[in-house]
Chains A and B, each alone.
Chain A
Amino acid sequence: MRMERMAGLALFLVTFGSVAAAGARVPSDNDHTLQAMRDEMARAKTRLELTIPGTEQPVRPYYVEYRLLDVEVREVVAEFGALLSNTHTRNRVMNVEARVGSYKLDSSNFVSDDAFRGFIGPAGSVGIDRDYDSLRQDLWIATDQAFKEAVETYSRKQAYLSSLARQSDIDDFSKAEPVQFIEPLETPDWTSRNWDQEARDTSAALRAFSQIHESRVTYYLVYATEYLLTSEGTEIRQNRRFAAIEAGMSALADDGVPLNHFYAAYAARPADLPNVETVRKGLNVAGTELMALRAAPPAQDYTGPVLFEARAAAPILAQVLGPALNGARPPISFTPVMEQLLTNLGGKSDWVGRLGARVLPSRVTVVDDPGAKDFHGTSLIGGYAVDDEGVRAQKITLIENGNLKGELMSRRPGPDFDQSNGHGRAAFLNDAKPTMSNLTFTSSETLSPAEIKKKFLDTCRAEKLAYCLIVREMDNPALSLMHQEDFSALLASFAGGAGTGDRLPLVVYRVYPESGREEMIRGSRIIGVNSRALRNIAAIGNDSFVYNYMQSQADGFAGTALGAFGSAQSQSGLPASLVAPSLLFEELEVRGARGEAKRLPLLPPPPMGVTK
């Protein structure tokens, strides 16, 4: 993935840094959201109760949470210089959560196959006028549904737990200090740039490649206001924003094997997106590489050293470290299928429960800092002041000198930590899950690019291999595949190996150690790049690449290796940044060509001029 270097970007959050000073001021605007929440919360706290037949004590919620997302999106999609769509939408959605029981044991963290059949449900669209009455009405019904749902789940969970021999001694929910943080409402700044024309102009760059069958260039600009109000006293209104340019493109090799490539650039706000010339250059590089892939020989099975250049190492780390550093307990599940699924997708951490143990090479330090704004002048996009559970963001040292020191924590406790450290993040109001923000992977013992390449080639020679592999770029199928059915088909064949470390490289070169000649190959799959493999990294570069990407919070993706396959357009993506150096692995297994051949088109592409 080509990230645009954007020095001197503004902060991700305008008002970041003055959490306390913001205080709980009553906004002087015409926004009645928090007031409606407060008033309905007062009723929920004092009067919401259910008496279960055969019991004396009425059941009441011990925790109620109102979340609301006000999101305004501009989306422009173009192909080969023509607009496919141009939309501007604003929506407000709410989600109400009620918990019954206690912090120790409550209605959460339980997956059962009997879904509650509510009639409006605890989540849904609400009016966009920020008015009081209609929101209160919606909150009333949603609270009612959420509470009833919690009562039912709690009783099912208790019944299930009573059948287990051993019960978990980890609490279901951690206590957190209430936070009041009210930012002023922000007016979206779409800038004076003509986004329609930019999408046309940039997408036209791909007209130069007649063998690209299909392409999409999407400009996706988001301004959002997040509200959170809890029965514990937390009141939050904060602004979020990001801007993305994402492109996918497809072609067929001469043997009929489908090939894809992508381009992505992310920024904290629309104004900071790269200009037309920069995007055209990026698309041109991706298109050129895609054409080179068409001509490249298919990969063969291989075992030997693999050098990941920093740009490829970053997504690898995102896929492995995301789940490995997730400190929350997994949910209790009725179905062993769920357990199996998590293992397969890489959603179960091998590190949790091993606090203090060495898990990475001994000079490596890993830090996650939601307050970081840039890395040596390159903007980071994963920052925030308060997380989606209302906990102040904290800088956490996760790995120190190779030893596990910390974990990414939400308010769901785990075996090693029982408190949140402000990493409970949620996209589009789904459940908050421990998620990285701005993560840096550094080592106090590094090699220069020349040294690491030399070590790589020396190893290759010592192994007496004809050639060895350098990975320059990893695939993100959420961006490179443009059709949901293709993405689903890929996941069906790939996801089973994600947990054990199957990875999808995109741009891979054979390097012949004797001549130094490089030759691109296509269609490989790397095996076994998991958290255990990271412990044996043979060398770490002194370079660094800032990988800005979207963490997918979609069900089945969040918290697993697939979480790194995010996109801005899916509405389940969270901006995140990962800073990584080049990494050398002494021995990895690489499998040969993937992808099933299709019949080539019978006719050549229609004539299309390079310029429109």
Chain B
Amino acid sequence: MKVETVEGRAPDFSREEPHTYIGPQVSIAVDRKPWEEKVRAYTKAFRDSAAIINSIVTFTAQAQNVYQVTAEGTQLQFGQIRYRLELFIQGKAPDGMDINRYYNFDWVNPADAPDDKAVSAAEATMRKELEGLVAAPINDPTVGPALLTGRAAAVFFHEVFGHRAEGHRQKDVTEGQTFSKKVGEQILPDFLSITDDTTMKKLGSQDLLGSYQFDDEGVPAQRVTLVDHGVLKNFEMSRSPLVGFPHSNGHGRRQLGATPVSRQGNLIVQSSKAVTNAQLRAKLIELIKAQGKPFGLLIDDIAGGFTFTGRGQPQAFQVLPLVVYKVFPDGRPDELVRGVDIVGTPLAALTKIAATGDTTEVFNGYCGAESGSVPVAAASPAILTSELEVQKKESSTDRPPILPPPAHDTVKTRGQQ
């Protein structure tokens, strides 16, 4: 059988060293009651807002023990513990557009659980953003400079760069193979480097969800330099080799039941052209003025395939800005807008990055793709791109509820007690 692939001469399966590692089994002992009380209290706080139609707070504790034995001699046993708190609220703009806000905390050590103060702060931000978005005007199509905050940039890199750097995509004729023939070429500005480091457990004080000891094909976790000073060097590799990349670098991952393919772990963007976030904002305003634009965009949150696993189908590669402000060159306050959709291939925006911030921010999530849902992290400083084209997002057509929320109804209905 002849299979037509770009990398047609690469073998089907790579040879790897067998490994033996028997780690301790892990288990969790969670006291349910306090957490039940906490999630009750966290959702109750959202009742104060008439704009919040629905709220869901989820606490998850998971202990996973992995066992792997292969005919090549690999024998592995290791465990992982993860805790997660997710906050989700829904609202509706007067024209029927659905507005969601989401925030998540992830931790490994029970002592690192967020305290009530941290959760309340996140809730206050979510509520303020949701109320603002419900009232915000729809953004008109524009082209101009844009600043992405660290978390938004992290999601952006995960979706538009990280997925394209997954090794198996270079083999598959149905894929875009964006990077197949670009190894050794400049694909990003030379001040940017990107690694995928699954050995890294923490960045600063934050746990990274995409770390592990061995991947799902028994290959040890590694630090892989994908982009070095703007030049494409490597791919995230599973045991499905490419010509020039005969070995796995420990990125063969899957959800139980799926076949492993190359997936991201901890995608970390580093910059050698970092300025303070205040300076970055000043540069944005300079660019707006230089391009003669009435405003630029500040993108504070982006929804991607791994930002929220609770709803709908995960969409790898897709990016949808959720919290976007217009930034004016004349010093007026920023204006929240909604319905922003990025036009064309978002990859183009990466080549137009002009500068970055100096503070790396982390986004943890669960990424859905061919081999199921796997925990990942992405980390990036804020980025300033000189050109981003946006259009109006399609809005849902169902109208807002006919009656006001029961707790915020000023009319007294007969028959009610």
Please tell me if B181 contacts chain A, counting CB pairs below 8 Å: no
Please tell me if A140 contacts chain B, counting CB pairs below 8 Å: yes
Contact A50 B402 (CB under 8 A): yes
Contact A140 B405 (CB under 8 A): yes
* Chain A residues within an 8 Å CB radius of B310: none
Contact A42 B54 (CB under 8 A): no
Q: Distance in Å from the Cβ of B144 to the closest Cβ of chain A?
A: 32
Contact A119 B406 (CB under 8 A): no
Contact B398 A118 (CB under 8 A): yes
Please tell me if A147 contacts chain B, counting CB pairs below 8 Å: yes
* Chain B residues within an 8 Å CB radius of A45: 415
Which residue of chain B has its CB nearest to the CB of A125?
A: B56
Please tell me if B417 contacts chain A, counting CB pairs below 8 Å: yes
Q: Distance in Å from the Cβ of A37 to the closest Cβ of chain B?
A: 11
A residues 135-158 touching B (CB-CB < 8 Å): 136-138, 140-141, 144, 147-148
Please tell me if B202 contacts chain A, counting CB pairs below 8 Å: no
Contact A43 B92 (CB under 8 A): no
Please tell me if A47 contacts chain B, counting CB pairs below 8 Å: yes
Which residue of chain B has its CB nearest to the CB of A45?
A: B415
Q: How far is the CA of A560 from the CA of B323 in the complex (A)?
A: 50
Q: Distance in Å from the Cβ of B286 to the closest Cβ of chain A?
A: 41
The interface size of chain A toward B, counting residues with CB under 8 Å, comes to 27
Please tell me if B174 contacts chain A, counting CB pairs below 8 Å: no
Please tell me if B86 contacts chain A, counting CB pairs below 8 Å: no
Q: How far is the CA of A561 from the CA of B89 in the complex (A)?
A: 44
Partner of B416, one of A43, A49, A120: A43
* Chain A residues within an 8 Å CB radius of B17: none
Q: Distance in Å from the Cβ of A233 to the closest Cβ of chain B?
A: 11
**How would residues 14 to 51 of chain A score, 1 for a CB under 8 Å from any chain B CB and 0 otherwise?**
00000000000000000000010011101101111110
**How would residues 318 to 345 of chain B score, 1 for a CB under 8 Å from any chain A CB and 0 otherwise?**
0000000000000000000000000000
* Chain A residues within an 8 Å CB radius of B402: 47-50, 144, 147
Please tell me if A376 contacts chain B, counting CB pairs below 8 Å: no
Q: How far is the CA of A138 from the CA of B52 in the complex (A)?
A: 12
Which residue of chain A has its CB nearest to the CB of B406?
A: A136
Q: With A50-B402, A133-B47 in contact, is A42–B396 under 8 Å at CB?
A: no
Q: With A120-B53, A148-B398 in contact, is A43–B40 under 8 Å at CB?
A: no
* Chain A residues within an 8 Å CB radius of B403: 43, 47-48, 140, 144
* Chain A residues within an 8 Å CB radius of B414: 42, 46
Which residue of chain B has its CB nearest to the CB of A39?
A: B416
Contact B413 A47 (CB under 8 A): yes
**How would residues 95 to 121 of chain A score, 1 for a CB under 8 Å from any chain B CB and 0 otherwise?**
000000000000000000000011110
B residues 162-203 touching A (CB-CB < 8 Å): none
Q: Distance in Å from the Cβ of A485 to the closest Cβ of chain B?
A: 13
Contact A39 B406 (CB under 8 A): yes
Q: Distance in Å from the Cβ of A41 to the closest Cβ of chain B?
A: 8
Q: Distance in Å from the Cβ of A594 to the closest Cβ of chain B?
A: 29
* Chain B residues within an 8 Å CB radius of A42: 413-416
Q: How far is the CA of A134 from the CA of B44 in the complex (A)?
A: 9
* Chain B residues within an 8 Å CB radius of A49: 402
Contact A144 B401 (CB under 8 A): yes
Contact A46 B415 (CB under 8 A): yes
Please tell me if B98 contacts chain A, counting CB pairs below 8 Å: yes
Contact A43 B413 (CB under 8 A): yes
* Chain B residues within an 8 Å CB radius of A147: 402
Q: How far is the CA of A445 from the CA of B180 in the complex (A)?
A: 82
Contact A137 B407 (CB under 8 A): yes
Q: With A141-B401, A144-B401, A148-B398 in contact, is A120–B54 under 8 Å at CB?
A: yes
Q: With A47-B411, A117-B398 in contact, is A35–B406 under 8 Å at CB?
A: no
Q: How far is the CA of A158 from the CA of B206 in the complex (A)?
A: 59
Q: Distance in Å from the Cβ of A83 to the closest Cβ of chain B?
A: 16
Binding site of B, secondary structure by majority: helix, strand, loop or mixed?
A: loop
**How would residues 112 to 143 of chain B score, 1 for a CB under 8 Å from any chain A CB and 0 otherwise?**
00000000000000000000000000000000
Please tell me if A186 contacts chain B, counting CB pairs below 8 Å: no
Contact A119 B407 (CB under 8 A): no
Please tell me if A129 contacts chain B, counting CB pairs below 8 Å: yes
* Chain B residues within an 8 Å CB radius of A134: 43, 47
Which residue of chain A has its CB nearest to the CB of B399?
A: A148
* Chain A residues within an 8 Å CB radius of B92: 119
B residues 387-417 touching A (CB-CB < 8 Å): 396-399, 401-403, 405-407, 409, 411, 413-417
* Chain B residues within an 8 Å CB radius of A117: 396-398
Chain B CB within 10 A, most for which of A35, A40, A119: A119
Please tell me if B213 contacts chain A, counting CB pairs below 8 Å: no
Which residue of chain A has its CB nearest to the CB of B52?
A: A137
* Chain A residues within an 8 Å CB radius of B54: 120, 137-138, 141
Please tell me if B14 contacts chain A, counting CB pairs below 8 Å: no
Q: Distance in Å from the Cβ of A22 to the closest Cβ of chain B?
A: 21
Please tell me if B90 contacts chain A, counting CB pairs below 8 Å: yes
Q: With A43-B403, A48-B403 in contact, is A120–B90 under 8 Å at CB?
A: yes
Partner of B396, one of A46, A47, A119, A137: A119
Partner of B406, one of A38, A46, A118, A140: A140
Partner of A43, one of B43, B396, B398, B406: B406
Q: Distance in Å from the Cβ of B195 to the closest Cβ of chain A?
A: 39
Contact A46 B401 (CB under 8 A): no
Q: How far is the CA of A136 from the CA of B53 in the complex (A)?
A: 11
Contact A35 B398 (CB under 8 A): no
Q: How far is the CA of A147 from the CA of B413 in the complex (A)?
A: 19
Q: Distance in Å from the Cβ of B358 to the closest Cβ of chain A?
A: 40
**How would residues 49 to 85 of chain B score, 1 for a CB under 8 Å from any chain A CB and 0 otherwise?**
0000110000000000000000000000000000000
* Chain B residues within an 8 Å CB radius of A46: 413-415
Q: Distance in Å from the Cβ of A535 to the closest Cβ of chain B?
A: 50
Q: Distance in Å from the Cβ of A322 to the closest Cβ of chain B?
A: 36
Q: Distance in Å from the Cβ of A118 to the closest Cβ of chain B?
A: 7
Q: Distance in Å from the Cβ of A333 to the closest Cβ of chain B?
A: 24
Q: How far is the CA of A148 from the CA of B398 in the complex (A)?
A: 9
Q: Distance in Å from the Cβ of A221 to the closest Cβ of chain B?
A: 21
Q: How far is the CA of A34 from the CA of B339 in the complex (A)?
A: 40
Which residue of chain B has its CB nearest to the CB of A147?
A: B402
Q: How far is the CA of A50 from the CA of B400 in the complex (A)?
A: 12
Q: With A39-B416, A46-B414 in contact, is A136–B401 under 8 Å at CB?
A: no
Q: With A120-B90, A141-B53, A141-B54 in contact, is A35–B407 under 8 Å at CB?
A: no
Given contacts A43-B416, A120-B54, 17 further A-B contacts (CB under 8 A): A35-B417, A38-B415, A39-B416, A42-B415, A47-B413, A48-B403, A120-B53, A120-B90, A129-B40, A133-B47, A133-B407, A137-B406, A140-B403, A141-B53, A144-B401, A144-B402, A144-B403
Q: List 15 A-B contacts (CB under 8 A).
A: A39-B416, A43-B406, A43-B409, A43-B413, A45-B415, A46-B413, A46-B414, A46-B415, A47-B411, A47-B413, A117-B398, A118-B398, A137-B407, A144-B401, A144-B402
> Chain A residues in contact with chain B, CB under 8 A?
35, 38-40, 42-43, 45-50, 117-120, 129, 133-134, 136-138, 140-141, 144, 147-148
Q: For the complex of A and B, list the 6 residue pairs with the smallest distance between their C-beta atoms, beginning with the closest.
A: A42-B415, A136-B406, A144-B401, A42-B416, A39-B416, A43-B413
